[in-house]
Amino acid sequence: KRIIQMIYKLILETGGETYKTKGKTLLEAVEKIPLTWKDVKYKGNLKIAKGKKSFERLFYPRQLRMLFANKILRARITNSIERIL
């Protein structure tokens, strides 16, 4: 038997920049984005794909900063998105 593990593919578009990452978990993929909460100044479009399922959401600057502010908030936000997928 061959086990296929789904990988999260994440694309973040913010401030004219595009960041693409992959990870075994959504949290791992978000942590690979080289941004800090101080770098976030514009709203961003977050696209997430896992296999055939996909999710897209617009984050306003305050929400996007929360995603990069600390690990607890990042884990909470990514867990809520993973439940949707």
What predicted TM-score, i.e. pTM, was given to this entire model?
0.86
Burial (0-12, 13-18, 19+ Cβ within 10 Å), 51: exposed
User: CB neighbours of 17 closer than 8 A, spacing ≥ 6?
Assistant: none
Dump pLDDT digits (tens) for 39-58. 999 999 999 999 889 999 99
25 three-state secondary structure: coil
What pLDDT, on a 0 to 100 scale, did the predictor assign at position 85? 79
Query: Which residue numbers in the chain have pLDDT < 50?
Result: none
Residues 51 and 9: beta-carbon distance below 8 Å: no
The position carrying tokens 């789904």 is 6
CB 18 within 8 A of CB 12: yes
For tokens 């990069």, what's the residue? Answer: 68
